[in-house]
Structure 1
Amino acid sequence: MSSFKLTFFSLSLLFLASCGSGNQKPSSLFSIVLEGNTNKINQGTTIGVSIKNIKNKDIEKVTYVMDGEELPISDGKINFSVPKLGNKVLKANITYEGTTVEVTKKLKVLASKAPEIYTYTILNEYPHDTGAYTQGLEFHNDTLYEGTGKKGRSFLRKFDYKTGKVYQQVDLDKTYFGEGITILNDKIYQLTWRSGVGFIYDLKDMKKLDNFQYGESREGWGLTNDGTKLYKSDGTEKIWILNPDTMEEEDHIEIASNKSLFADTNELEYVDGKIYANVYQKPGVMIIDAKSGAIEGVVNFGGLSDKVTKTENWIDTDNVLNGIAYHPTRKTFFVTGKDWDKLFEVQIEKK
């Protein structure tokens, strides 16, 4: 090799080496270390945090951020009193040698305590249509509204819950599998399962006003509202918060117990800051804090299906508990199931 080529080759190596040292990834310099090397933290827990300084750089300052808010550090510890639970990213902004880099660590923030156990007392039993594969159930005044599923027999109806008499019904096109419903501002909102579309109806005459498309949410499962915003479940651990005017998914909460995140929230009902959620294919209802996503209670409705007349086409994993509606005047809950012949009025109470 000529001396010119050797010199050029040597210079090239030096150039590449200098470029590499100036563009090292933050992860090659630093990493976040949590006490016990955990990646699960209960809300409100105080836990030690440090920076692993891989290259022994001279660190001048470190700040920690989660969900856009700085987390104060005291004696090398952070208190994770964050307002919302779920999958999180802890960011550390590290200033060293006149520059600042960001490193991250994925973790889960879970509920601070285990859910309380609730039971129920049956107050009344009413007739329910065995052709109604219940997906959504909600009261407006003293009238019960119901949305049902299954392609070819999905509909939206309003009826007298005491007698089962149907006042009005709108059938969905056979291509749609109907899902949850809710009523807000004189409009009825209805989801479909996997079609990525929902419908908006006029409350007075049930005439369809508009369609809406889903955003990031995966599917349409349950739907409820707090008087201002809509809450939509999609079969994941997330419940999406929608603007009823634009139908945009503006935010979400993630559902968590003190042990893990929880998916499969189905039919929803909002009452006094809590979301009551049917658990898909289970005889239970979760009581969820609508702001944090914490599962605060679980209602065990086991045994309720034994009071239902099972037809020859009954399938235990299909004809399950689903549908929960709160009657604000009576201050009781009404629950039923998919193709059940009974609607139960119950009082929910701590066990």
Structure 2
Amino acid sequence: MGRFTAAVCCSTLALLAGCSSPEAAGPGVERLTAHVEQRLPFDSSSFTQGLEVAEDGTIYVGTGQEGESRLYTRSPEGEELRSVDLDPAFFGEGITRIDDILWQLTWQNGTAIRRDAATLEETGRAHYDGEGWGICSRENEVIFSDGTAELRRMDPETFQERERFTVTLDGQPVLGLNELECVGDDIYANVFTTTNIMRIDAATGDVTAVIDASALPNNAEPDPNNVLNGIAHIPGTQEFYLTGKRWPDMYRVTFRDEQAAK
């Protein structure tokens, strides 16, 4: 999501008060924690809105803020490889790669930018209604978030909306769904302004696990905008990269059931 607003935060947290905490989840929902395996350097100037990892390990980062939004690639160690700026009028949001195509959302412009995944050059645009927050791809669909409890299923080629479904935790809608990552039959979504990540059944919208990422050090400069935002599965592993807006660090993590391990 874009810049922090008190109205959004308060309404989101009020509705999430009973369900965003791992302790509040029902008995059928796993309670997991993000365990740091490695800390890696990141870019503290990046207002991170989207994070993606290619099969060869290349990391894609989409950033926000009008006049500052860009898309760039980097190595896990921090070497920047390629970068393109967005139109200064656009506020960049989530990104996802589908083979040789990369889609990038904008926050309030209703515009999805289609790019060549290798060169990052723009190859087309599509329109959508409402705000764009997060995006991920699975099978023959793109999953799209707009900050509500609903996720949209979009056509990966045309970006036409197919349907919407509501994400629920113990029967209650989960607002503030932001950055997304699709892994098999699961969708991972961070909840805006919190350190919780929801693992969602992509078929039903039911939350199957609440992941507590509060143990990740947030070393960004004090600012209500500088929250956890960035989830990327590392292909071929059960590990993820997590980072945040203007975070100087990125973390390679595993999601663990600490109670089961005892």
SS at match of 2:253: strand
Give the share of equivalent positions with the same residue, in percent.
34
**Residue 134 of structure 1: aligned partner:** 48
Contact 1:114–1:257 (CA<8 Å) still a contact in 2? no
**In 2, distance between residues paired with 1:309 and 1:220?**
27
SS at match of 1:176: coil
**In 1, distance between residues paired with 2:220 and 2:251?**
16
Map Cα deviations across residues 231-283 of structure 1 (whole Å, 9 max, x no partner): 00011111100111221101122101114111110000011200000110101
> Paired residue for 1:210, among 119, 124, 127?
124
1:174 and 2:88 matched:
yes
> Paired residue for 2:101, among 163, 184, 187?
187
**In 1, distance between residues paired with 2:180 and 2:34?**
18
Q: In the TM superposition, what is the alpha-carbon distance from 1:114 to its structure 2 partner?
A: 4.8
Name segments (4+ residues, structure 1) moved above 6 Å: none
Quick one: which amino acid aligns to residue 272 of structure 1? G
Quick one: which amino acid aligns to residue 330 of structure 1? T
**Residue 156 of structure 1: aligned partner:** 71
> Paired residue for 1:294, among 206, 227, 231?
206
**In 2, distance between residues paired with 1:302 and 1:244?**
33
With the length of structure 1 as denominator, give the TM-score of the two structures: 0.64
1:309 and 2:219 matched:
yes
Quick one: which amino acid aligns to residue 137 of structure 1? L
Contact 2:54–2:235 (CA<8 Å) still a contact in 1? no
Structure 2 CA distance for partners of 1:183 and 1:261, relative to 1, 3 Å: same
Contact 2:220–2:246 (CA<8 Å) still a contact in 1? no
Contact 1:181–1:191 (CA<8 Å) still a contact in 2? yes
> Paired residue for 1:232, among 130, 144, 152?
144
**Residue 322 of structure 1: aligned partner:** 229
* Structure 1 residues not aligned, in runs of 5+: 1-110
CA RMSD of aligned residues (A): 1.5
**In 1, distance between residues paired with 2:137 and 2:168?**
20
**In 1, distance between residues paired with 2:158 and 2:67?**
29
Q: How many equivalent residue pairs?
A: 233
With the length of structure 2 as denominator, give the TM-score of the two structures: 0.85
Quick one: which amino acid aligns to residue 160 of structure 1? S
**In 2, distance between residues paired with 1:258 and 1:345?**
29
Contact 1:113–1:258 (CA<8 Å) still a contact in 2? no
Q: In the TM superposition, what is the alpha-carbon distance from 1:113 to its structure 2 partner?
A: 6.0
Quick one: which amino acid aligns to residue 76 of structure 2? Y
Q: In the TM superposition, what is the alpha-carbon distance from 1:345 to its structure 2 partner?
A: 0.1
Structure showing greater relative contact order (alpha-carbon pairs closer than 8 Å, 6 or more residues apart): 2
Map Cα deviations across residues 149-178 of structure 1 (whole Å, 9 max, x no partner): 11121111110012x111100111111110
> Paired residue for 2:193, among 281, 304, 307?
281
